[in-house]
Amino acid sequence: MESGRKQTRVALIGNPNCGKTSLFNFITGLQQKVGNFPGVTVDIKSADTQLPDGSSVSWVDFPGLYNLYPTSRDEKMVVQSLLDTKDRFHPDLICYVADVTKLEKHLLLLHQLKDMDFPLVLVLNMIDLAQKEQLEIDAGLLSGKLNVPVVTVSGRSGEGIPDLFKEIGDQLSNNINARISDSGIYTFSEVEKNLTQQLASIFPSYSAYKRLLMAHHAQWLPFISASDRIHLLSILGENAFKSLPFQVREVTQRYHFFTPVVASVLKQKVKDGFTFSEKLDGLLTNRIFGLIVFLGILTFLFQSLYSWAEWPMTLIEEGFSSVGNYLATHLPSGWFTQFLTEGLIAGLGGILVFIPQIALLFFLISILEEIGYMSRAAFLFDRIMQIFGLNGRSMVALISGGACAIPAIMSTRTIASWKERLITILITPFISCSARIPVYTVLIGLVIPSRTVGYIFNLQGLAFLALYLSGIFAALLSGLLLKWWIKSDEPSFLLLELPDYKLPVWRNVGLTVWEKVRTFTLEAGKIILIISIALWFLANNGPKAAMADAGKEAKREAAERKLSAEEADNLTKAYLLETSYAGILGKTIEPVIRPLGFDWKIGIALLTSFAAREVFVGTMATIYSLGQNDDELTLRERLAVEKNPETGKPRYDLATGISLLLFYVFAMQCMSTLAVVKRETKSWKWPMIQFFGMTLIAYLSSFIAYQLLQ
Amino acid sequence: MVKVHTNEKILSCAKVGVKGVVSYFKDEQVACRLISMGLVPGSTIEILHKAPFGGGWYVKSESLHIAMRNEEACSIVLR
């Protein structure tokens, strides 16, 4: 441990949709952090808190799973942590969270964990819902029959949490060193008995049931040494051990054990007819109406991004403008003031102005997730998704991709089929993420008039939607191509639980928004800021002799054309920028991007955007604040007055604007995404294919658009 | 429900509204997955909805709601 003091690690484990994360959020609040470690991408959340009795506890929120026989990567990670005592998330104590309204189905995993000899507390969650559904539970009796301490809580309201803390405290003050028992609840068959006895030579410190699990997972568990694995597999071969039939045997036997237990402790009023969720699903998963609702939700999502986020954005934009202006007039002029106003503040403003849109997008997406709509979307589109080599669950990734490709790519871990998962990973970055919003906003504001068409639709909002649709279209088309190209004979399946609709827990929504905005501001912001500053340097410095010549040349020309002092100053700045290192860089790539309608200034922004798309705006802000004296103008206004020196027409006309927009829709301009794809696919092959493929599509579509519109 | 020559009633190609009790599963992989989600032999099962575009089934088993494809539904044999 970092602190050098052994902290008790308490894991929250439970089936998907058991309300585990709500509970975790309630307990840990803003203290949680997402663990990310070299080698594997782990998005396991953890947080350190102190219990009321003073003992300090490190909470870990594991992904949900149904039993100890995982099918997806997410679930495998949990099983690995539980079996490997050296794993950094290996728990000392497990808080097993079960939805009390689905108790019977949620007891299976608890039953297995008990045989693994973990100290356990059974947390019956959603007790508030149970009361509403007139469901009575005898927690004391259940505790007695299962021989596990039981606490009833509500992760929504926090009811019962103090009892949970007390129970954990009691458990911790008892000796919780893992016992090893050879008599679990599960009664082995002869084959399993023989097998686990033989395996004792390889895993002497493991209980019989743990040894059995090692046998089931012999193929993939990464912490088994090569020699142990050979030994293990040969024992399995001698016993003709087949995993699946024994899994079914075990699980069935466990059900026989606890089904009567549940029946004896639970009093439930039998309800006739359909539940509220079932009735609602009659509409929301309906062939026609369900699709209309889905499209309606998407349209609402993107329209609201444009209309609701407008005023806070203007506020931030103008705020930064006036701060810059104030500093420029009140600080002594010099390179530092210039750096502060043109480099730092221009760059910073370029980041912060997009927080309202990012927050809003994550706010709406996490509400959809919270109420349970996302799994319905997966169900609705599974068949269609299969056409494109995807899975219904890919829908969740594609929608989250609308916020950020990184969490979206991580969410594909629930897809069991490798081929479907890989295709989802490869095409997700085509979906317009929040980092593209800045670019879209600036450029649409420039080239598309703000008009109302068809009474309610804002033309700019529609253009926004069209860009998103182009991304989706490209994603699906690539899926088709990849499905045909990537060969696989592994079976694919979809078994998806559709949880009951619930009102969103606002704490969860708030925490998601806070976490994403914070990540954007800190992570993306760091890159944007560094690049803005580097760019400011490159744009203000150049080869000394050439810079001096350019200055003289500008003065001569100004005198010749009899320009005013201000105009002469602007001309000098423009000449200097062109001669600077940044200018040289942009001019070098200009021949390549000229057919797309881009000049060297846009070229500089394109180059920096390959680090991260949102850098575009910061770059533009830095470049264009250099040539101007009027600090009152926002970036959008500055771009609008920019003229093409050859034609005298606005630089950002429709053709250039659309061409640039299309480039940003399709190009793979995000280093962080490439890094995540590399980690998730375990090779450079896929991120490289993704990078070159997407950038080629971007170049070609921009080329075609510009040549047609010009 | 569709009668197959072995006299098995299979929960696929079935219609919305069909009810039954699970007898066994034909595919071990699917069996393991379904059992661990709480759908066991002896569970009642009812088809509530069907996804658009010839997609999967929305199945109810007691308090559990599961979406599954045709392939999975095919391996559920009813009593």
Chain A positions touching B34 (Cβ under 8 A) are: 495
* CA dist A693 → A345, A390, A472, A477, A698 (Å): 36, 19, 16, 12, 9
pLDDT at res. A270: 65
Contact A17/B at CB under 8 A: no
pLDDT at res. A699: 95
* CA dist A83 → A89, A120, A189, A257, A262 (Å): 11, 16, 22, 24, 28
Q: Are B32 and A248 in contact (CB under 8 A)?
A: yes
- Residue A407: which residues within 8 A CB-CB, separation 6 or more? A43, A400
Contact B40 A255 (CB under 8 A): yes
**What average pLDDT does this structure show over A598-625?**
78
* CA dist A19 → A12, A13, A43, A467 (Å): 10, 10, 18, 36
Confidence of residue A11 (pLDDT cuts 50, 70, 90): very high
pLDDT at A250 over 70: yes
Quickly list DSSP for A690-709: HHHHHHHHHHHHHHHHHHHH
Could you tell me which of A121, A156, A155 has the C-alpha nearest to residue A139? A121
Collapsing DSSP to helix, strand or coil, A124 comes out as: strand
Contact B65 A286 (CB under 8 A): no
Q: Residue A169 and residue A647: Cα distance in Å, rounded? A: 76
Q: Are A327 and A365 in contact (CB under 8 A)?
A: no
pLDDT at A2 over 50: no
pLDDT at res. A424: 96
- Give the residue, A7 or A258, on which the prediction is more confident: A258
Pairing of strands A266-268, A135-137: antiparallel
Contact A494 B38 (CB under 8 A): no
- Token couple for A170: 């009691």
Q: Residue A95 and residue A13: Cα distance in Å, rounded? A: 6
H helix runs in A29-181, sequence order: 73-83, 103-115, 127-132, 139-146, 161-173
pLDDT at A41 over 60: no
- Residue A412: which residues within 8 A CB-CB, separation 6 or more? A393, A394, A397, A421, A424, A425, A428, A680
**What average pLDDT does this structure show over A214-229?**
92
Average pLDDT taken over every residue of chain A = 84
Ranges A137-141, A455-459, B29-33, most confident: A137-141
pLDDT tens digits along B42-79: 888 999 988 888 888 999 988 889 999 888 888 888 88
pLDDT at A688 over 90: yes
**What average pLDDT does this structure show over A631-636?**
60
The 3 state secondary structure assigned to A227-282 is HHHHHHHHHHHHCCCCHHHHHHHHHHHHHHHHHHHHHHHEEECCCCCCCHHHHHHH
- Give the residue, A642 or A110, on which the prediction is more confident: A110
- Give the residue, B71 or B11, on which the prediction is more confident: B71
pLDDT at A176 over 60: no
Contact A498 B66 (CB under 8 A): yes
Which of the 8 DSSP states describes residue A412? Answer: G
Contact B32 A291 (CB under 8 A): no
Contact A288/B at CB under 8 A: yes
Instruction: Compare all CA atoms of chain A with the CA of B16 and give the residue at the minimum distance.
Output: A282
Q: B27 φ, ψ to 5°?
A: -115, 125
- Give the residue, A153 or A345, on which the prediction is more confident: A153
Chain A positions touching B29 (Cβ under 8 A) are: 244, 491, 493
- Token couple for A695: 């950038």
Q: Hey, what long-range contacts does A168-175 have (CB within 8 A, 24 or more apart)?
A: A168/A10, A168/A51, A168/A57, A168/A93, A168/A95, A168/A121, A169/A51, A169/A52, A169/A53, A169/A55, A171/A93, A171/A119, A171/A121, A172/A8, A172/A55, A172/A57, A172/A93, A173/A55
- Give the residue, A110 or A128, on which the prediction is more confident: A110
Contact B32 A285 (CB under 8 A): no
Could you tell me which of A219, A196, A159 has the C-alpha nearest to residue A22? A159
**What average pLDDT does this structure show over A290-299?**
89
Confidence of residue A33 (pLDDT cuts 50, 70, 90): low
pLDDT at res. B7: 60
pLDDT at res. A191: 92
Q: What is the dihedral angle through the alpha carbons of A316, A320, A325, A330, rounded to the nearest 10 degrees?
A: 120
The residue with tokens 């905005």 is A517
- Token couple for A618: 């910061």
Contact A383 B67 (CB under 8 A): no
Q: What is the dihedral angle through the alpha carbons of A203, A204, A205, A209, rounded to the nearest 10 degrees?
A: 60
Q: Say how many CA atoms lie within 13 Å of A318 toward its Cβ.
A: 6
- Residue A33: which residues within 8 A CB-CB, separation 6 or more? A45, A46, A47
Per-position b or e across A616-635, b if 16+ CB within 10 A of its CB: bbbbbbbbbbbbbeebebbb
The residue with tokens 């007790």 is A127
- Token couple for A215: 């046998």
Collapsing DSSP to helix, strand or coil, A425 comes out as: helix
Contact A378 B67 (CB under 8 A): yes
Choose the closest CB to B40 out of A252, A378, A493.
Answer: A252
pLDDT at A218 over 80: yes
pLDDT at A38 over 70: no
Contact B46/A at CB under 8 A: no
Contact B49 A493 (CB under 8 A): no
Contact B64/A at CB under 8 A: yes
pLDDT at res. A420: 92
Quickly count: other Cβ atoms within 10 Å of residue A569's Cβ: 15
Collapsing DSSP to helix, strand or coil, A320 comes out as: helix
Q: Residue A110 and residue A251: Cα distance in Å, rounded? A: 12
Q: Are A160 and A132 in contact (CB under 8 A)?
A: no
Q: Residue A590 and residue B36: Cα distance in Å, rounded? A: 60
Q: Residue A93 and residue A508: Cα distance in Å, rounded? A: 24
pLDDT tens digits along A375-403: 898 899 888 899 999 988 898 788 878 87
Q: Over pLDDT 90: what percentage of chain A?
A: 31
**What average pLDDT does this structure show over A191-195?**
92
Q: Residue A215 and residue A192: Cα distance in Å, rounded? A: 10
Confidence of residue A322 (pLDDT cuts 50, 70, 90): confident
Q: Which of A25-29, A154-158, A178-182, A269-273 has the lowest mean pLDDT?
A: A178-182
Contact A71/B at CB under 8 A: yes
Chain B positions touching A392 (Cβ under 8 A) are: 56, 67
Contact B67 A499 (CB under 8 A): no
Confidence of residue A34 (pLDDT cuts 50, 70, 90): low
H helix runs in A412-564, sequence order: 418-427, 436-447, 459-485, 506-519, 525-540, 544-561
Confidence of residue A120 (pLDDT cuts 50, 70, 90): very high
Q: Residue A507 and residue A488: Cα distance in Å, rounded? A: 42
Q: Residue A440 and residue A464: Cα distance in Å, rounded? A: 7
Shortest Cα–Cα distance, B44 to chain A (Å): 14
- Give the residue, B7 or A79, on which the prediction is more confident: A79
Contact A497/B at CB under 8 A: yes
Instruction: Compare all CA atoms of chain A with the CA of B39 and give the residue at the minimum distance.
Output: A105
Contact A182/B at CB under 8 A: no
pLDDT at res. A40: 42
Q: Residue A171 and residue A609: Cα distance in Å, rounded? A: 53
Q: Provide the number of CB pairs (under 8 Å) joining chain A to chain B.
A: 119
Contact A255 B53 (CB under 8 A): no
Confidence of residue A629 (pLDDT cuts 50, 70, 90): very low
